[in-house]
Structure 1
Amino acid sequence: MWEFIRDRWDLIAYNALQHANLVFQAVFVATLVAVALAVVVNRFRFLDPIANTLSAIGLTIPSFALVGLLLPLTKIGAVTAFTCVAFYAALPILRNAVVGFGQVDKDLVESAKGMGMTEAGILLRVRLPLAWPVIHAGVRTSVQMSMGIAAIAAYVLGPGLGGYIFTGLSQAGGANAINYAVVGTVGIVIVALIADLLMLLLGRVTISKGIRA
């Protein structure tokens, strides 16, 4: 095993970075989309149960099934992998963002309006900072979930460590089959742990001490 890793260390490190890059880019885009949708839902409250239902249903769709549905549109490659990861990443963020915005104290919002703040100002300076701890929790969950989804997306030649797992499975019984599978699996776990630490640090930096849990 150690010889296998040593001989392929540069490629393994590169694929680990690609895996993390795919996840962080997809989660970033998913966060922007999910927060924007949550703002709309918060403004039109009748959309709240619809958003929660869509989020719940979306999470029940098998990732392989979604990949199959995307293939005719986005073909094999990184675009399909990114789209698949971003889709699943948006769901927990959307759910948490809706809850976070819904928990913002209405008296604070009214006070901001009384001070002459615009709707955009209230969103950026009142609603979003107060809702951010809940949204951040959703983003953190999304990052961890997306690590596994990115591995499955390697089935359509997406970047990352998932390719090692599929190579190991395709070579079952071969000399390096277990090595490929173990390196891919353990590598993803290590990347996920590092990513979670970075998300924890992001929370410490971006969440005000006054509202930090």
Structure 2
Amino acid sequence: MWDFVLDAWDYVLDRRGQIAFQAFQHVSLVVQCVLLGSLIALALAVLVYRSPRATGAANGLSAIGLTIPAFALLGILLAPFGFGVTPAVIAVTFYAALPVLRNAVVGLAGVDAALIESARGMGMSRLATLARVEIPLAWPVILAGVRVSTQMVMGIAAIAAYVLGPGLGGFIFTGLARLGGANSLNAALTGTIAIVVLALVLDLLLLLLGRLTTPRGIRV
């Protein structure tokens, strides 16, 4: 057991530059796609949350989208976009938007109508009420969706290596492809453990973001 640990440590040290670079790529892909997916989801939520029928459709889209296997979606995207970054970005952004969409709809719909009416009575426009009252009050619920989204797509970004997308998934697929060969297990474990560590770090950063951006009066 100790020999295996030492061998794995040597593997990491020998490839620390490559690991660091691919870790940066992985985090960059996830953060950019979560940001893009969150903006898309929030825009959709603002359009639908006042309509029960549209809300049901949005929630249905979110539920159905999460049942689509990542491998299948990436395979479909290969035909129009080929291998590389583009299908990886599209797939990761798609999955990133789904939890945020559901939470944004729930959060906005849950804002007390009396508070909205009070804001409108003070002369605030519809857009100002949304930006200064509804979204801040719904923000903890929306951010919870962002956290779920980030954790979920950390793994999906690894699967994107199937289409030669950037990130740590390359270590995992390389290790699995050569299973039984030299350093195959080390490669798979390196990619997996690095993704878990990065996911925990990003979640802590989002917790801190929540503390800094949530209005004091509604903090739990």
**TM-score normalised by the chain length of structure 2:** 0.95
Give distance in 1, aligned partners of 2:46 and 2:52: 10
Whether 2:45 is the aligned partner of 1:53: answer: no
Q: 1:144 aligns with which of 139, 146, 151?
A: 151
Whether 2:120 is the aligned partner of 1:97: answer: no
Give distance in 2, aligned partners of 1:5 and 1:68: 31
Q: 2:18 aligns with which of 11, 16, 40?
A: 11
* Cα distance, 1:43 vs structure 2: 3.2
Q: 1:200 aligns with which of 193, 204, 207?
A: 207
Give distance in 1, aligned partners of 2:208 and 2:82: 37
Aligned to 2:216: 209
Give distance in 2, aligned partners of 1:76 and 1:25: 19
Q: Does structure 1 retain, via aligned residues, the 8 Å contact 2:29–2:89?
A: yes
Give distance in 1, aligned partners of 2:111 and 2:40: 20
Unaligned runs of 5+ in 2: 1-7
CA deviation profile, 1:106-162 (whole Å, cap 9, x unmatched): 011111111111111011100100010000000000000010000001111111100
Show structure 1 runs of 4+ deviating over 6 A.
Answer: none
**TM-score normalised by the chain length of structure 1:** 0.98
CA deviation profile, 1:161-211 (whole Å, cap 9, x unmatched): 000000001111111100100000001001101111111111011111210
Whether 2:183 is the aligned partner of 1:176: answer: yes
Whether 2:193 is the aligned partner of 1:191: answer: no
CA deviation profile, 1:5-55 (whole Å, cap 9, x unmatched): 111101101111110110000000000000000001123332111111111
* Cα distance, 1:79 vs structure 2: 0.9
| Number of aligned positions between the proteins | 213
Give distance in 2, aligned partners of 1:209 and 1:98: 22
**Identity value in percent:** 59
Aligned to 2:36: 29
Give distance in 2, aligned partners of 1:136 and 1:167: 35
Give distance in 2, aligned partners of 1:74 and 1:110: 48
Counting only pairs closer than 5 Å after superposition, residues 41-190 of structure 1 correspond to structure 2 as: 41-190=48-197
Unaligned runs of 5+ in 1: none
